[in-house]
């Protein structure tokens, strides 16, 4: 492979994805009239913001540095990272507008959020081949573990609230 993402680029990709998620939840809030659903969407947007702050802290504290993995005098890499994040599940060709129309209760919101988190895990795992060898792969593992923890928490919340019936 001629090019690979490094740790700093992976952190930035994760931040972009989470920013998109936060924006989606905020936009969804404006389109939903049910107060309980609006409250859950607001909570999910706040969680995304907290996750963004956590990723930024990890990036700032990281031992991996933030030098680009290749010479990039015209900042094309930044545009590429943003475009990659924008193709993630939160911005999939208007399909989410249809999903919003299907939301009837908090359970539907939580299930949608759970699907987003699962899709994020899949997205990060699919990036494994595009990650530089060595310590940079540890960043990807860290991001995947963090997303898996969110999947587990949302799954438990759905079950606890009785929205998952076997």
Q: pLDDT tens digits, residue range 105-135? A: 888 888 988 988 898 888 888 777 777 777 7
Q: pLDDT tens digits, residue range 9-58? A: 788 888 888 888 898 889 888 888 888 888 988 999 999 999 999 889 88
What crossing angle do the helices spanning 106-126 and 7-31 adopt, rounded to 10°?
A: 160
Domain residue extents for the chain: 7-64+73-160
**Multiple choice CATH, 7-64+73-160, 1.20.1260, 1.10.3470, 3.40.449, 1.20.950:** 1.20.1260
Question: Any residues with CB less than 8 A from the CB of 31 and at least 6 apart, and which?
Answer: 100
pTM of the entire predicted model? 0.76
């Amino acid at each position: 492979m001629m090019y690979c993402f490094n740790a700093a680029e992976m952190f930035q990709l994760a931040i972009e994805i989470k920013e998109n998620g936060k924006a989606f939840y905020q936009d969804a809030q404006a389109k939903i009239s049910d107060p309980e659903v609006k409250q859950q969407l607001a909570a999910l947007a706040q969680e995304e913001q907290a996750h963004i702050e956590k990723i930024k802290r990890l990036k700032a504290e990281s031992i991996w540095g933030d030098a680009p993995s290749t010479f990039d005098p015209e900042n094309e890499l930044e545009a590429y990272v943003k475009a990659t994040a924008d193709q993630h599940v939160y911005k999939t060709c208007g399909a989410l507008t249809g999903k919003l129309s299907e939301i009837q209760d908090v359970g539907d919101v939580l299930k949608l959020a759970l699907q987003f988190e699962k899709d994020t895990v899949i997205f990060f795992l699919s990036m494994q081949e595009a990650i530089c060898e060595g310590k940079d792969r540890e960043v990807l593992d860290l991001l995947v573990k963090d997303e898996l923890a969110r999947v587990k928490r949302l799954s438990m919340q759905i079950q606890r609230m009785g929205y998952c019936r076997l």
